Amino acid sequence: MNVKRVYNFSAGPAVLPEEVLKEAAEEMLSYERSGMSVMEISHRTPLFQEIIDEAEQDLRDLMHIPDNYKVLFVQGGGHMQFAMVPMNLMKNGKADYIITGLWSKKACQEASLYGDAAAVASGEADHFTTIPDVNQISFHKDADYVYLCLNNTIYGTLFHELPETGDIPLVADISSCFLSEPLDVSRFGLLWGGVQKNVGPAGMAIVIIREDLIRDDVFPATPTMLKYATYARSGSLYNTPPVYSIYICGKVFKWLKHNGGLSEMKRINEAKAKLLYDYLDQSTLFRPTAAVKDRSLMNVTFVTGDANLDTQFVREAEEKGLVNLKGHRSVGGMRASLYNAMPYEGVKALVSFMKEFEENHLEAESI
């Protein structure tokens, strides 16, 4: 089969490793000589149990997840976690939110349906181009948790330092930096990530939760399927789980292990981001939008300052096989997402096209 692949800079659903897609294609008609696709086998079979067990173990190995944390595979994606976190964790009905973009703002709004969700800091005055100084934030002593979004997909910012919250559990949305570099899990009470950014197919989130935070006395009338305890007690098999998503995530975990794990991912991701930021920093046409100290490794945002020129750039890039460079609809401009599966070569091709576009533009201006 001769297929032309493009360099896909989408923020999500996003690029997956080609090796993983090929393997899945090979196994499509018959998984492990079963004569059936993974989508066709019961989730109550040893064949599927092995898939989910290995996926969990490989994730534990990659992230060095301590034994007192559970790994949960939860259908529903990111927005459902905006609700599950407060429903399950707001014991006293209070939580502190650090607002660094649309996703933490929406999470805070959703939490206010269940209790008192306080926005204790916000980068909105700077149009979310910076992360507030975490050492300047004071938290409520009786907050049940402090919530933040570690990497801000839309604005291209990342927390390079975590707030000290003492005994208050720190909760983080890691959707767009999931497995992009090593992370100290023990610093958090709960981590969750929608897998469609850097891990697998859309429709599922992975939750990593410290055992003492899994409670039965959750918000009244919380549906069974929205209790973390339901997933923890059943090994994420209370009802039919998203089997194919778990299977592909498992393959991505193996791909990451084969490719040197998270320290190696960090090294490559830093090299990719540096290539693009270095070019942007000296460009006379393009301007990076995130504050230098808060830059994301995964989502690089930039503009020309002229919305029509931005549109022209995105269109011409697309013709060159560099696709999905349009910024989020709420901010405009451009965004290049450089997830694990984006090869260094892809970023090189992007930078080389940007140089060409810049030269052509400057020439046209001088005529």
Residue among 304 and 340 whose Cβ is closer to ligand PLP = 340
Q: Per rule CB under 6 A, is residue 103 in the interface with ligand PLP?
A: yes
Fill in the DSSP letter of residue 162.
P
Give the integer Cα–Cα distance in Å for 96 and 40.
44
Instruction: Find the part of the chain contacting ligand PLP (CB under 6 A) among 83-91, 160-168, 172-180, 210-218.
Output: 172-180
Q: Per rule CB under 6 A, is residue 201 in the interface with ligand PLP?
A: no
User: Which among 178, 204, 193, 332 has a CA at the least distance from the CA of 269?
Assistant: 178
Catalytic residue status for 103: yes
Of 94, 96, 192, 197, which is the active-site residue?
Answer: 197
* Residue choice 157, 175, 198, 324 for contact with ligand PLP (CB under 6 A): 175
Block residue for tokens 């096209």:
353
Q: Per rule CB under 6 A, is residue 198 in the interface with ligand PLP?
A: no
Q: Per rule CB under 6 A, is residue 79 in the interface with ligand PLP?
A: yes
Paired strand residues for 343: none
Fill in the DSSP letter of residue 124.
G
Q: Per rule CB under 6 A, is residue 310 in the interface with ligand PLP?
A: no
User: Which among 269, 252, 249, 254 has a CA at the least distance from the CA of 343?
Assistant: 269
User: Which among 12, 336, 324 has a CA at the least distance from the CA of 196?
Assistant: 12
* Residue choice 153, 236, 296, 304 for contact with ligand PLP (CB under 6 A): 153
Of 58, 94, 103, 310, which is the active-site residue?
Answer: 103
Size of the residue set binding ligand PLP (CB under 6 A): 12
Catalytic residue status for 197: yes
Give the integer Cα–Cα distance in Å for 79 and 97.
16
- HSE-up of residue 29 (Cα within 13 Å, Cβ side): 1
Q: CB 242 → ligand PLP: shortest distance, Å?
A: 12
* Residue choice 194, 200, 242, 327 for contact with ligand PLP (CB under 6 A): 194
> Burial, 292: exposed, middle or buried (Cβ in 10 Å; 0-12, 13-18, 19+)?
exposed
Catalytic residue status for 173: yes
Q: Applying CB under 6 A, which residues contact ligand PLP?
A: 12, 77-79, 103, 149, 153, 173, 175-176, 194, 197
